Amino acid sequence: MSTLHFVALAPFIMAVLIPVFYFKFRKIHTGWFVLPLPLVLFLYLLTYIPAGGDPMNPVLNSVPWVPSLGIDFTVYLDGLSLLFSLLITGIGTLVVLYSIYYIANKNGEPLHNFYVYLLMFMGAMLGVVLSDNLIVLYVFWELTSLASSLLIAYWFHKEKSRYGALKSMLITVTGGFSMLAGFSFLYVLTGSFSIQEIIAAAGTISGEPLFITAMLLILVGAFTKSAQFPFHIWLPDAMEAPTPVSAYLHSATMVKAGLYLVARMTPVFGMLTEWFWILVIFGLTTLLWGSISAVRQTDLKGLLAFSTISQLGLIMSLLGMSSAAMHYGAAGSEALYTTAALAAVFHLINHATFKGSLFMVVGIIDHETGTRDIRKLGGLMTIMPVTFTVSLIGLASMAGLPPFNGFLSKEMFFTASLNVASMDILNLETLGFFIPVAAWTASVFTFLYCMIMFVRTFTGKFKPDNYEKHVHEAPAGLLVSPIILGGLVILFGMFPNLLAYTIIEPTMQSILPGLLNGGEQFYVNIYHWHGINAEIMMTIGVVFAGAAITLNLKKWQQTFFFNRERDPLNAVYDSMLDNLVTGSQIVTRAQMTGRLRDYMVYMSVFISALGLWTFFRYDSFAVDIGAQTPVPVYMYIITAVLLISTLALPFVTHRITNIVLIGVVGFIIALLFVIFRAPDLALTQLLVETVVVVLFLLVYRHLPEIKKESVKGWSHAVNAIVAASVGIFVILAGLSVHAMRTASDITPISDFFIENSYTLAGGKNMVNVILVDFRGLDTLLEVLVLGIAALGVVTLVKHRMKGDEDV
């Protein structure tokens, strides 16, 4: 157990203590107790950053969990894990601080719920990024889905919250299942759940047919989590969560788990052509779809949600492009090929900073004005100057304007797309041209929605009548976190090389490990001015095109796609859910008829079919006619009487005849017990049979005559066939058991009882000794069963119901 294990487990331990803090210190906001934890974890994780530009040495530490199945809680900290852990704890600290002011400790707000879920998420997410074992990763992965769902439904009295929670749960957990299947395939191929071992074995298994299936299944998991088209529809509905949650889970960390997984799996699957194209195509589609959809949102959080979707698509496509470097072997470590990986990592960091600050700003606007609807907002520039400044920084960065960090990564995105388009592998020479085109088009829309958010919220005329409360600047506590993030946006924009060899290069090593020899490093140097080149022209084009559309916004808003705010793919999800419900009802109604007879038929058919199939499958039917005790003549007579009485039973409707037949069968069974050397059974059977007959007679007094069965003919036939098949199965099974028993010459375990019943239990009647001594507890429980039955009988007879009860 290393300290890193505790890093992942600490939030869970803290979560257990939260109710104590909440109920013991009601006056103090529970968030203050939570705040130190992510801060300490963040500072601790900072110590892992390689000093002085040296390459990072990954840390590996394993604790056995289920060793027999190869499942160990192995923590593995390399550049990629470190980057994510820092994001989780760093943004986590800011979000907790922000939430203290956002969710007020009054009106019985269930703060303990909030922080327990939040800590559960934090621990689970740290577990995902620190775990080297796929099964452990999966467990934590599903825990993040659960925590996310619980947080979305935090205000569960709202219908939309519950809808959003259910939706995110269904989509991400379905993806998680698919991912688990993919992991299992990888285990089948490599015999290991360890990611590092799978990476080492990747070269030898890449030809297997299961390999591509595993890749597809894992990608479904990553795509659902990271809200990639067409699974992105859960993210806008997740915006019902409190804004700190949206800033934390649904923009900075959890939705990036899919990106993490893809980056983690790049060394495994990166050589596949399918990997490159699936990631690039789905990433770019998501990028375009998200940015176009964001433009038509009227809810600020909805706009940011679609913006997040599109940015996730951007990073996803960059991760796909970065896998192209692997096709060049050692030459792939040149900057021409690694720009995509660099851009992916850098943009991931930048997105966390500017999107985190923007979500918090939107939260502030919502908090202070009571609305997030851009049709009502306007002119907040002078009313909320600090909020406005932070938004401006975040929006400029998101739009890709200098000197902010978003500009740098967007330039790199263009560079990477141009580089990839000029490659001569993977059919890129014919199809590659569309990558920069899509990148540029999406950037125009990105610029556009940034402009819309800016123009509609902050400029224009301030109309006090639109708001239910008095609008003023937010309190300082609420502003601290977005200001810090906004500060980082500027810091990383001005001095991007702060990150170069501390975070970015180690992360690139994790994504593209095979390209370098030990000790070598990728060349990372990020700077603003590259001279007049294609990228800068593209950026200028984006600004002009975006500005032109913004100026004519009124005209654009008449067009078709502006009029529908909800994503058209929601209809698919909703109808699937509806059909699931109606489909289940149809299936249920088809079999749950409420008829005892039908259930009996199901069970009988199933049992006899299962039994007969087993005989057939294992060829286990056997008959041994030879090994028999001789049959005395009187046995034929007794058996004949028994069979006649039995077979007559279904045909007789006269009640007394029925009871006579039942009695005859019972007493003949008792007689058979005598013949077969079972005196105790015979005695019991005689006694029980007498009582049963008396009972039947008693009940007859109150029950009507048995009517002749009045059902359709074929129903009788079905019953008869089903009953006969059960009988045949019993006979076949009996014959086989008998043959096997005589053939294999087994010694029955009852020799023990014969030898020991007197010495151990002091009784000479072995059956009795077994019942009351060797198996005494069974008999005790049997008595209990009889007692319950007797109680039931008494209740049913004595309890007088009035007749209008729902029985």
Partner 1 sequence: MEILMIVTSGVIIAVGVYLLMTRSILRVVFGIVMLAHGAHLLILTLSGLQQGAPPLLTEEAASYADPLPQAVILTAIVISFGITAFLLVLSYRTYKVHQTDDLEELRGNADE
Among positions 281, 543, 669, 671, the unique one binding partner 1 when judged by CB under 8 A: 669
Instruction: Give 700-704 contacts, CB < 8 A, sequence gap 24+.
Output: 700/655, 700/659
Residue 677 interacting with partner 1 (CB under 8 A): yes
Please pick, from the candidates 106, 470, 617, 764, the single residue that binds partner 1 as defined by CB under 8 A: 764
Whole-angstrom distance, CA of residue 366 vs CA of residue 301: 10
CB of 660 to partner 1, least distance (A): 12
Kindly tell me which of 402 and 611 has the beta carbon lying closer to partner 1.
Answer: 611
DSSP-assigned beta bridge partners for residue 72 = 64
Residue 757 Cβ, how far from partner 1 at the closest point, in Å? Answer: 7
Pick out residues in 1-40 that bind partner 1 (CB under 8 A): none
Give me the least distance between CB of 166 and partner 1, in Å please: 24
Our CB check for partner 1 shows the closer of 532 and 749 to be 749
Contact, 405 vs 527, CB < 8 A? no
CA–CA distance, 245 with 226 (Å, rounded to integer)? 16
Is there binding between residue 676 and partner 1 (CB under 8 A)?
yes
**Stretch 406-445 residues interacting with partner 1 (CB under 8 A):** none
**Of 540 and 717, which CB lies nearer to partner 1 in the complex structure?**
717
Joined tokens for residue 525:
């140097």
End-to-end CA distance of the chain: 58
Number of residues that bind partner 1 (CB under 8 A): 97
Which one of 9, 473, 658, 660 is in contact with partner 1 (CB under 8 A)?
658
Residues 334 to 393 in contact with partner 1, rule: CB under 8 A:
none
Task: Output the smallest distance, CB 804 to partner 1, in A.
Answer: 10
Spatial CA neighbour of 227 closest among 238, 218, 217, 216: 238
Cβ pair 363, 244 in contact under 8 A: yes
Secondary structure class of 496 (helix, strand, coil):
coil
Least gap, CB of 578 to partner 1 (angstroms): 18
From the list 146-154, 167-175, 266-274, 676-684, the region that binds partner 1 by CB under 8 A is: 676-684
Please, what is the minimum distance in Å from the beta carbon of residue 753 to partner 1? 5
Only one of the segments 62-70, 195-203, 388-396, 597-605 lies at the binding site for partner 1 (rule: CB under 8 A); that segment is 597-605
Tell me which residue has tokens 């995509």: 340
All residues at 6 or more sequence positions from 167 whose CB lies less than 8 Å from its CB, including other chains: 233, 234, 237, 238, 573
Closest to partner 1 by CB, 71 vs 735, is 735
Nearer to partner 1, 569 or 659 (CB): 659
Tokens of 499: 């990150």
Residue 304 near residue 454, CB atoms below 8 Å: no
Query: Which residue among 28, 69, 643, 743 contacts partner 1 (CB under 8 A)?
Result: 643
Answer for which of 597, 606, 613, 614 binds partner 1 (CB under 8 A) is: 597
**Spatial distance between the Cα atoms of 117 and 146, rounded to a whole number of angstroms:** 9
- For residues 453 and 380, the answer to whether their CB atoms sit within 8 Å is no
Least distance to partner 1 from the beta carbon of 806, Å?
11
The size of the chain, in residues, is 807
| CB neighbour list of residue 325: distance below 8 Å, 6 or more residues apart | 332, 333, 337, 338, 340, 341, 512, 515
| Dihedral of alpha carbons 509, 511, 513, 514, sign | negative
Which of 552, 584, 657, 765 is close enough to bind partner 1 by CB under 8 A? 765
Written as one string, the DSSP assignment of 384-422 is SHHHHHHHHHHHHHHHT-TTSHHHHHHHHHHHHHHHHHT
State which of positions 272-311 bind partner 1 (CB under 8 A).
Answer: none
Q: Which residue, 386 or 735, has its beta carbon nearer to partner 1?
A: 735
User: What residues between 690 and 749 interact with partner 1 by CB under 8 A?
Assistant: 691-692, 695-696, 699, 702-704, 706-707, 709-711, 719-720, 722-724, 726-728, 730-731, 734-735, 737-738, 741, 748-749
Buried b (16+ CB within 10 A) or exposed e, 730-760: eebbeebebbeeeeeeeeeeeeebeeebeee
Q: What minimum distance in Å lies between the beta carbon of 613 and partner 1?
A: 18
Is the CB of 551 or the CB of 711 nearer to partner 1?
A: 711
**Inter-residue contact 287 to 442 (CB < 8 Å):** yes
The C-alpha atoms of residue 38 and residue 182 are separated, in whole angstroms, by 32
Distance CA 617, CA 185 (A): 28
Rounded-to-integer distance, Cα 164 and Cα 246, Å: 12
d(CA 567, CA 569): 5
Considering the rule CB under 8 A, would residue 757 count as an interface residue with partner 1? yes
Min dist CB 787 to partner 1, Å, is: 9
> Which of the ranges 43-51, 95-103, 269-277, 797-805 carries the binding residues for partner 1, by CB under 8 A?
797-805
By CB under 8 A, tell whether 760 contacts partner 1. no
Contact 511, 322 (CB under 8 A): yes
Residues 573-592 that bind partner 1 (CB under 8 A): 589, 592
How is residue 645 written in tokens?
């009485």
Tell which one of 335, 609, 635, 717 touches partner 1 (CB under 8 A). 635
**For residues 205 and 692, which CB has a smaller minimum distance to partner 1 in the complex?**
692
Binding mask 775-794 for partner 1 (x = CB under 8 A): x--xx--x--xx--xx-xx-
**Using CB under 8 A, which residues numbered 615 to 634 contact partner 1?**
625, 628-631
By CB under 8 A, what part of segment 140-179 binds partner 1? none
Here the tokens at position 109 are: 């707000």
Bond before 403 cis per omega within 30 degrees = yes
Per DSSP, helices labelled H in 206-299 are 209-225, 234-237, 243-247, 257-269, 273-295
Q: Does 605 interact with partner 1 (rule: CB under 8 A)? A: no
Min dist CB 354 to partner 1, Å, is: 54
In Å, how far are 68, 89, 403 from 64, measured between CA atoms?
9, 26, 49
Residue 619 CB, shortest distance to partner 1, in Å, is 20
Write down the least CB distance from residue 609 to partner 1, Å. Answer: 14
Give the range of 105-113, 191-199, 442-450, 649-657 binding partner 1 by CB under 8 A: 649-657
Is 75 within 8 Å of 2 (Cβ atoms)? yes
Instruction: Compare residues 532 and 777 and give the one whose CB is closer to partner 1.
Output: 777
3 state SS of 75: strand
Instruction: Kindly tell me which of 517 and 628 has the beta carbon lying closer to partner 1.
Output: 628
Rounded CA separation 118/146 (Å): 11
642 near partner 1, judged by CB under 8 A: yes
Listed ranges 18-26, 168-176, 305-313, 654-662: which one lies at the site for partner 1 (CB under 8 A): 654-662
Q: 112 vs 655, which CB is nearer to partner 1?
A: 655
Applying CB under 8 A, does 63 fall inside the site for partner 1? no
What is the Cα–Cα distance from 559 to 549, expressed in whole angstroms? 13
- Cis? peptide before 64, omega within 30° of 0: no
Beta bridge partners of 75: 61, 131
Residue 662 found at the interface with partner 1 (CB under 8 A): yes
Tell me whether residue 405 or residue 757 sits nearer to partner 1 (CB atom): 757
Residue 572 as a binder of partner 1 (CB under 8 A): the answer is no
User: Per CB under 8 A, which region of 326-334, 458-466, 473-481, 678-686 contacts partner 1?
Assistant: 678-686
**Nearest distance, CB of residue 580 and partner 1, angstroms:** 18
Going by C-alpha positions, the residue among 402, 426, 110 that lies closest to residue 242 is 110
Q: State the burial class of residue 517 (Cβ atoms within 10 Å of its Cβ: 0-12, 13-18, 19+).
A: exposed
Using the rule CB under 8 A, give the single segment among 295-303, 375-383, 554-562, 770-778 that binds partner 1: 770-778
Question: Which CB, 495 or 651, lies closer to partner 1?
Answer: 651
